[in-house]
Amino acid sequence: MKYKKGKYTIERFAEDHNLTRQSAINLLSKLKKQRYLTVSGGGKQKRIYTIYKFPKRPTNGFYDIVNKYSPEKLYPKFEHYIKGRYTVEHAIIDGLKISDIRTLEATKYLFKHVANWKLLIDMAKKENLLRKVLNLYNNARSTIKCRKMPKRYLK
């Protein structure tokens, strides 16, 4: 790739590469499709285009799920890539494996969105985390409003 990595606005990118504004928009669009570029801002703010040396894979793991559902946002400690389906149940188990205080506080809010309790309990048994899942669930029930776990899993 012949473009210098860094952060640009459309005008700055066009000026640095001797392009018209429309040509710069088209080129940035192509770079975005090839994943060499991410965009932030927009609306009332200027769009900031961040160009990378290598293509960036989009993350779809634990931190994306937690930040979507929890009011307590977490800064990713690592990039988490998942192949296949990654659900709220998987995120609860991963949150217990990370097990620092902020992560556990944010993970509590995922109990509002559990769709498959059997999957959660089976994964917890497989990872030997059943007691921790039940403790976190009871803590979540006492502090926030969340769905009730079926009684057959509360043994």
Tens-digit pLDDT string for the chain (155 aa): 578 889 999 999 999 999 999 999 999 999 999 999 999 988 899 999 999 999 888 777 899 999 999 999 999 888 888 888 999 999 999 999 998 999 999 999 999 999 999 999 999 999 999 999 999 999 999 999 998 999 998 87
Task: Please work out, in degrees rounded to the nearest 5, the angle formed at the alpha carbon of residue 69 by the alpha carbons of 74 and 85.
Answer: 95
CATH code for residues 6-51: 1.10.10.10
Taking phi over 0 as left and psi of -120 to 50 as alpha, with beta for the rest, 87 belongs to beta
**Predicted local distance difference test score (pLDDT) of residue 59:** 76
Query: What is the model's pLDDT at position 1?
Result: 56
Q: Is the pTM of this model over 0.95?
A: no
pLDDT of residue 116: 95
The CA-based diameter of the chain, rounded to the nearest angstrom, is 69
pLDDT, tens digit, 9 for 90 and up, residues 125-142:
999 999 999 999 999 999
DSSP 5: P
pLDDT value of position 106: 96
The domain locations on the chain are 6-51, 62-153
Query: Which residues touch 114 (CB under 8 Å, ≥6 apart)?
Result: 88, 89, 92, 120, 147
pLDDT of residue 113: 95
Report the pLDDT value the prediction gives residue 60, as an integer from 0 to 100: 77
> CA–CA separation, 43 vs 98, rounded Å?
36
Task: Give CA angle at 108 (106, 111), nearest 5°.
Answer: 130
For residue 102, give the H/E element and its range: helix 101-107
Q: What is the model's pLDDT at position 131? A: 95
